[in-house]
Amino acid sequence: MSNNEKNLRKVDSPEVHKKITINATIKGTKRISQFELKERSQIKKALDKKDLLAKPTFDLPLQLDESRADHEGEWTWGTHRNWEKPGDSLEIIKAFRQNYVNKLWKEIFAEKYNYKKGTRQKHIYYPINKLCKEARQRLTELENDDFEEIFRFRLMGKFRFFGFTCGDMFIAIWHDPLHKIYPIVD
């Protein structure tokens, strides 16, 4: 019997046919994850989702993954999702790449900004349920709607850069030059 076969066992519940234990390594960190799946075909999707929920490894430099970016269409408020088009957004994203790629996560989380009542952490996680309705619907369309949090970089003025973290990786999803994805009360 192979190790993989030993990790599979039947569960009495009729909804769950197999309990699969998967050891996942993310760049120097070791996590043991357990997934309850109905079919083997769900393993990759479950692993992908679980890995995306991993918090950054603070002593490692940020790595940027733009391969899953949502560049299709535009928001109802008129902003194109594709930040690669020439313009202000592209210049801000280029500056982000230059200033943040390879910067340690602990340095990123240490950044603060001043506001009326003092200082706040500059880059933070937001609960998905606090995003605007259109952004939540778009996450559903992208099959990323089962996440509880999304990470946000505060870059310049109202400009925000959203994505998921996986170990030391920032997986970029959206840019938001008008601060509409996570609405604020002025």
Say whether 40 sits in a helix, a strand or coil. Answer: coil
Q: Average pLDDT of the chain? A: 78
Backbone angle region of 10, left / alpha / beta, with phi > 0 → left and psi within -120 to 50 → alpha = beta
Predicted pLDDT at 21: 42
Predicted pLDDT at 128: 94
Predicted pLDDT at 184: 81
| pTM for this model (two decimals) | 0.71
| Low-confidence stretches of the chain (pLDDT beneath 50) | 1-38, 40, 43
The enclosing H or E element of 141 equals helix 133-141
Predicted pLDDT at 37: 45
Residues 6+ apart with CB under 8 A from 39: 17
Domain ranges (residues) in the chain: 3-52, 63-176
CA 144 to chain centre: 9
Q: Could you report the per-residue pLDDT of 54-83, keeping only the tens digit for each?
A: 667 788 999 999 999 999 999 999 999 999
